[in-house]
Chains A and B, each alone.
Chain A
Amino acid sequence: MSGIRIKNLRKSFGTYTALHGIDLQVPNGTLLALLGPSGCGKSTTLQLLAGFEAPTEGEIWADDVLLSSARGVLPPEKRGISLVFQNYAVWPHKTVAENVAFGLAIRRLPKAEIAERLDRTLRTVRLEALRDRYPSELSGGQQQRVALARALAVEPRILLLDEPLSNLDAHLREEMRFEIRQVHDLLGLTTVYVTHDQSEALVTADRIAVMKSGHLQQLGSPEDIFERPSNAFVATFIGANNELAGTSEGNGAIRVGSHVLTAPDRSGAAHGGTVSLCVRPSQVRLFGAEEKGLPAEGCNVLSGTVRRSAYLGEYRDVLVDLGGGRTLRAFIPPAQSFAPGSVVTALLPIGSCQILGPAA
């Protein structure tokens, strides 16, 4: 097992730059999720880590071993890094056992040890009963487990997972999330998990690296990412979010249209800089326009018109038109109800609001 250190990693394909200098540390034994929309550079990072691509600039280290730099790349087969592919890449001409034992045979281990490790790995992913099946006779989830077992059997020092659940149906996906986390807890492998699904990242990862257009936006624990996003992009990408664009009025204040709102300021922007006020819909409270004695203490107060309201059982999802092309989403208790067209007052607790800058 090794920790990973990525230093100023850049990758260009012709004139297109996929990665603009990424710095990233993955301590030994942690599970890092690389999270971002498609085209953010997360898969490129994974290909670089696995050794299938050479960086344009920068270095990748596994503990004190230099794996990749612009001057050379340790070939994939010499890295001790296992990779689980999005489409599983289980070899259709080999049985489950043959797939899993492939890496062990490559290492010329004694037969007895191969058999022992094969059995152990198959047990870990609960595939003992299917060992002589061919992949065409397995379900998607089972193939996924074969791919995982194959990667684990060789006892890699680093495990890479490339969108491993995106081809599974929703129900199975949820189950496999926990299974992957369980395997990680059992083996303690340094793992990099690429995904575009924020809830997958939140469930499985120790640390999350959010990426966009080849830049690292934030690296932190799931709580950091969700509660203290470093910019408006991260806030919007993770969970539901309201983003009210405006300009900075100095520390702790933002001008949104004619309103000046206050919130903890983490944008670092100068007076007049482009910033956004971010607040989760679950923190927004709505009241009828005629209601008196609102608990407005410590809140930003906005008013608007309800445009639509959807009943979702556990809460109501209400969209409020603030005028000037701005809208605000609020998740309110289902007992409360506003007809479209009714005028409402929205309270945004200052402590739940944040002033954030745009994406890096």
Chain B
Amino acid sequence: MGVISTDSPDSAAAATARPVMARVPLARTVVFGAVALLLFLLVVLPFGWVLNNSFHDDLTGAWTLGNYARIFQSADLLEPLFNSLLLAVATAVIAVGIGVPLAWLVSRTDLPFRRTIRVLTLTAFVTPSFIGATGWILLAAPNSGWLNALWRSLAGAEAGPLLNIYSMTGAIFICGIYTVPYSFTMVSSALDEMAVELEDAAATLGSGTLRTMLSITIPLVTPAVIASFILSFIQGLTLFGVPAFLLTPTGIPVVTTKLAEFYQLFPPEIYMAAAYCMPLLLVTAMLFWMRRRILGRKQFVTISGKSRAGRRIALGAARWPAFGAALLLPLVSVFLPYAALLLVSLTRAWGQGLSWENLSLHWYWWALFGNSETHTAIVNSLLFSTLAATMCVMLGTVVAYIVERRMVFGASLFGAVATVPIIIPGIVMSVGFFAAYTRAPLNLYGTPLLLVAAFAATFLPIAYAHGGSILKGIGPELERAARSLGAGEGRTFLSITIPLMGGGLLSGWFLVFIPIIRELSVAVFLITPKTNVMTTLIYNAKDGGNYEAVCAMSVLLLLITLALVAAAGPLTRLTTVRRTSRKSGRKTAPAEGVLPT
């Protein structure tokens, strides 16, 4: 079978100039071409346009370095940079200062309700920080905030407000508490993965608990601590929603809100905005480079819930006080803001106070069915997130496969391009997609595709890295076996590789879907009334002062997100390919029944 060439051995010598049978198959060319094109459209082109635009003048369109010069000459543009750095440093300090001790308590000690603390911290993780900020506006706005009202009722009406969330301190507080889960997760997984034997070895050499912790445990998790500091710093630097909610009303600008301001000017200074992205990009690129140096190739931290089987440090009398301290973070990041949002969303009119007559599901009904704007946003959010996550996982997986199996010369370049968006803050991504796709020949402004593509591009690095780590666990012989039996590259990928990736692909999908549905900054310059999503709707509606509706939408978004997080685990397990027969060997199925026809 399979006689392809009819060259006889004798004619072979004469035919040396003739190419042998292998030509690059058409399908292969099409797939690689499509992947290269998609990567170009999703990553290279938007970034290229931002770079290009940054060298042009907004009024004349001529080439200029003026935009960059303006950044350093105008106090107006320097101040946001300093504010952003302040916010970033403070966020990182809070995240590490709270996250590391919390991780140690949960991973290493006999703290009561460790699992609950873990779950609550994870809940804070998936809570969009701008929704947290909305909750805290209800709690700690200088005049109307409940905590301030409570304070006044205790200290007397003439006492000033206790808390003011509309301040740099307030923004730092919110950014900090919603970034703690990052450092917590990274450090606790480092502690969980650390072999107990390393500590036991020190103990057998006569080292006490404290000494062991100082000279073994802490040095071993130092890379994770530093890496989480860097990640938290980047969070503080690139968050858009929190400063937009808390700092813009009081006139404190940061880089991300300043970028939005350029778009709101008339005429909008879009080229100036492009140049203003560069300091942000420079800092994030540098920080990610540092993080990579520290963590080696391990770029993404897996969130695993398994607890350590080894001995735990007994806290003794400090057990319950420690539990109280550990509950502080969930209290301020989950319980209080969730309660505030839920209560307001359930009142017909918040101004009328809490009473049975005032309680209603009116605003949920309104958001879901009564109002076409909110209805559209909910549908859009679900639809765009589904499409974007699917596209992102498909592209990320194919790129990972090409890179992992070195299928073409220069495959690693594909991987590098797919990783680039990790250094691009969401707001810069928004600027880039606006620049690239609101002009001919690819004018996508106002189409769902623009948002779907921007979301997919932003989270491509996660899908790519996740796909790569699954593929590393699948030996290439499993694929080669299929090839040698007659399956082509495409068939092998579909019938061997994909089923073997199985549940891992679905978990990758959730890993991308969840951040997409709660993403605000990427969408902020790209939406139109028709393509509004829940996050941008909440962002825009907040200024209208209709807090009941904003809260109902926020609660809906939280519910969807939390439901997905809860469903992700079981669904992933369900779709993981069955690898044991239920009835071993007893019953013999007819041959046709088991054949992959």
Q: Contacts of A150 on B, CB cut-off 8 Å? A: 481, 485
B21 within 8 A of A: yes
Q: Contacts of B9 on A, CB cut-off 8 Å? A: 5, 61, 64
Q: Which residue of A lies closest to B496 (CB)?
A: A91
Most buried by A among B477, B495, B502: B477
- Known contacts A66-B12, A93-B502, A129-B585; is A76 also within 8 Å of B20 by CB? no
Question: How far is the CB of B220 from the nearest CB of chain A, in Å?
Answer: 33
B589 in contact with A132 (CB, 8 Å) = yes
Interface residues of B in 482-536 (CB under 8 A from A): 482-489, 491, 495-496, 499-500, 502
Q: Which residue of A lies closest to B594 (CB)?
A: A97
A154 in contact with B6 (CB, 8 Å) = no
A133 in contact with B486 (CB, 8 Å) = no
Q: With the chains together, A106 CA to B491 CA distance in Å?
A: 9
Most buried by B among A61, A64, A73, A98: A64
A98 in contact with B480 (CB, 8 Å) = no
Q: Chain B's interface: helix, strand, loop or mixed, by majority?
A: loop
Partner of B485 from the list A66, A74, A82, A131 (CB cut-off 8 Å) is A82
Partner of A92 from the list B23, B477, B500 (CB cut-off 8 Å) is B500
A77 in contact with B588 (CB, 8 Å) = no
Q: Total interface residues on A, using CB and 8 Å?
A: 62
B1 in contact with A101 (CB, 8 Å) = no
Q: Contacts of A82 on B, CB cut-off 8 Å? A: 484-485
A289 within 8 A of B: no
B581 in contact with A133 (CB, 8 Å) = yes
Q: Contacts of B19 on A, CB cut-off 8 Å? A: 71-72
Q: With the chains together, A135 CA to B580 CA distance in Å?
A: 8
Q: Which residue of B lies closest to A128 (CB)?
A: B588
Q: Contacts of A134 on B, CB cut-off 8 Å? A: 578-581
Q: With the chains together, A344 CA to B85 CA distance in Å?
A: 87
Q: With the chains together, A51 CA to B484 CA distance in Å?
A: 8
Most buried by B among A59, A106, A130: A106
B491 in contact with A132 (CB, 8 Å) = no
Question: How far is the CB of B13 from the nearest CB of chain A, in Å?
Answer: 10
Q: With the chains together, A79 CA to B5 CA distance in Å?
A: 11
Most buried by A among B21, B478, B480: B21
Question: How far is the CB of A257 from the nearest CB of chain B, in Å?
Answer: 50
B8 within 8 A of A: yes
Question: How far is the CB of A108 from the nearest CB of chain B, in Å?
Answer: 9
A345 within 8 A of B: no
Q: Contacts of B26 on A, CB cut-off 8 Å? A: none
B596 in contact with A76 (CB, 8 Å) = no
Partner of A87 from the list B22, B477, B578 (CB cut-off 8 Å) is B477
Most buried by A among B5, B22, B487, B499: B22
A164 within 8 A of B: no
A311 within 8 A of B: no
Partner of A132 from the list B23, B486, B500, B585 (CB cut-off 8 Å) is B585
B62 within 8 A of A: no
Q: Contacts of A93 on B, CB cut-off 8 Å? A: 499-500, 502, 577-579
**With contacts A93-B579, A101-B591 known, what are 11 further pairs, Cβ within 8 A?**
A64-B6, A66-B7, A69-B20, A77-B488, A87-B477, A94-B596, A98-B594, A98-B595, A119-B591, A137-B581, A151-B485
9 A-B contacts, Cβ less than 8 Å apart?
Answer: A51-B484, A71-B19, A72-B23, A74-B4, A78-B4, A92-B500, A98-B595, A102-B482, A155-B1
